[in-house]
Amino acid sequence: MVEVIAIVGPTASGKTALSIELAKRLNGEIINGDSMQVYRGMDIGTAKIRPEEMDGIPHHLLDIRDPDESFSVAEYQSLVREKIAEIQQRGKLPIIVGGTGLYVQSVLFDYRFSKQQVDEELRQTLNAELERLGPGAMHSKLMELDPEIDIHPNNTRRVLRALEILLSGEEKEDGSLARTPMYDELIIGLDVPRAKLYERIDSRVDGMMESGLLDEVRRLHDSGLRDVQSIKAIGYKELYAYFDGMYSLEEAVAKLKRNSRQYAKRQFTYFRNKMPILWLDATVDAENNLGEIMRFWQENDRNRRIEQMAKTIR
């Protein structure tokens, strides 16, 4: 029987609404799978679910850090695995919901971390790749590992350092292990045609601005918060630039929409390449998708489920 469900997909694909209905049917509790929703006071820009939208379903790992605190995928992995055990002990089904692919993968698969120093062999390998492939390819490689990381493609030194950390030092993935499942899991992906998704993203950004995103970011900006992980998130960095006088408000919002669309594209790439996912059309009737999920959830043979899911991976 499935031990853990994850609902993944790009921003604005409808993960939150689906997760609530699924949790009602399966006696589930929801675990945040978004790296930015862990921060307090960053609600509108991260599209964090509001208490009145939870409909009585317990939600975990929201608002667990202040915006000036750092938060790593290794911390997330440890916290979520503890939370999964707690939820299961209560006889409930853990449902991870979010779009941060590396975070979700680190929990569901044998993704290992160490505190060892980066070895010189890896550094030489990355430098050789840089010479052979160029800075653009190295930045693309980094984006595949962590789509949310905010490093300019031309900042080659920081790109290489981030790759070193992700591949060896503090966050080390052994490719042969990172696909070994830790649970009997069912991963659901919500797919939206590109043009439709971009419409949803633009509309969501407009809605965020109407709901007070500018004031939310102004409070962070006026507090003196600078050069920390949280404000590098999409929706915050663009409006910080506006308050710093780099862009007009219209230009900042346009960049926010563009960056959100680009991020959604990277999310699709990550999920389709990294995990066995049951892809569902997010534009069809929700009841149809819930019925499909229930059918897979009831299937006890995990290998058979994966074979069926593999046919849906595009």
Contact 189, 29 (CB under 8 A): no
CA atoms of 58 and 288, how far apart (whole Å): 25
CA atoms of 268 and 270, how far apart (whole Å): 5
CA atoms of 203 and 188, how far apart (whole Å): 24
- Residue 15 annotated in ligand binding: yes
Residues 133, 136, 142, 147, Cα dihedral to 10°: -150
- Residue 94 annotated in ligand binding: no
On the 0-12 / 13-18 / 19+ scale of CB atoms within 10 A, 29 is buried
CA atoms of 283 and 277, how far apart (whole Å): 17
- Residue 11 annotated in ligand binding: yes
Please, what sign has the CA dihedral across residues 248, 254, 255, 256?
positive
CA atoms of 229 and 236, how far apart (whole Å): 11
- Residue 13 annotated in ligand binding: yes
- Residue 10 annotated in ligand binding: yes
Contact 267, 11 (CB under 8 A): yes
Q: Give the H/E segment covering residue 189.
A: strand 185-191
Count, residues in the chain: 314
CA atoms of 143 and 263, how far apart (whole Å): 10
- Based on its alpha-carbon atoms, the radius of gyration of the chain, rounded to whole angstroms, reads 20
- Residue 196 annotated in ligand binding: no
- Residue 14 annotated in ligand binding: yes
- Residue 45 annotated in ligand binding: no
Q: Which residues, at least 6 apart from 261, have a Cβ–Cβ distance to it below 8 Å?
A: 197, 198, 201
Binding-site residues sit at: 9-16
Binding-site residues for ATP sit at: 9-16
Binding-site residues for substrate sit at: 11-16
